[in-house]
């Protein structure tokens, strides 16, 4: 008699723990769906985000919508209510979640690489400009025309 009472208490504790875990996951995943939906909608409407960064942000938000929706509307009811039918098809939802997670991660690397390429190109152009400027100063100082050329080069650098 004592062991069956202990089993009932353990089962009730396990059910309560599952429901608490499901509630916490829902409180994280559902706002994720809402806020990522807002991000995906407003990146199209804002004129400052009509560029590659805006498109990248929108596509990443779309992936996050699917990812959070899988957790909020499939995983949470499956855990909280212990539904066996949902457990049978959970491997499909898991595959979709993994794909969305990978897409979001890879898009971050694409964005980072794009930004680094821009920084490197700007640094190379600046270095070439400075080298040309210093070479022209040394060449013009030999010709005693350096005052006129220096003013011309200053105008070039201001641009």
Domain locations in the chain?
2-158
Confidence class for position 111, pLDDT limits 50, 70, 90: confident
Long-range contacts of 72-77 (CB under 8 A, 24+ apart): 72/25, 72/26, 72/29, 72/30, 72/32, 72/33, 75/22, 75/25, 75/29, 76/22, 76/25, 76/26, 76/29, 77/22
What pLDDT, in 10s, does the model give residues 137-153? 777 666 666 666 667 66
Q: Mean per-residue pLDDT for 73-96?
A: 85
Q: Mean per-residue pLDDT for 38-42?
A: 91
């Amino acid at each position: 008699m004592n062991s069956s009472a202990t089993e009932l208490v353990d089962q009730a504790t396990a059910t309560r723990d599952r429901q608490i875990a499901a509630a916490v996951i829902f409180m994280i995943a559902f706002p994720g769906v809402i806020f990522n939906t807002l991000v995906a909608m407003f990146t199209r409407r804002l004129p400052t985000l009509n560029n590659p960064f805006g498109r990248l942000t929108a596509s990443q938000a779309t992936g996050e919508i699917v990812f959070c929706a899988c957790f909020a509307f499939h995983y949470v009811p499956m855990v909280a209510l212990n539904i066996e039918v949902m457990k049978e098809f959970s491997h499909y939802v898991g595959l979709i979640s993994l794909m969305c997670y990978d897409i979001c991660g890879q898009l971050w690397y694409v964005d980072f690489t794009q930004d680094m390429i821009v920084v490197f190109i700007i640094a190379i152009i600046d270095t070439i400009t400075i080298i040309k400027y210093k070479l022209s100063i040394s060449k013009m100082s030999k010709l005693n025309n350096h005052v006129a050329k220096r003013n011309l080069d200053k105008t070039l650098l201001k641009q």
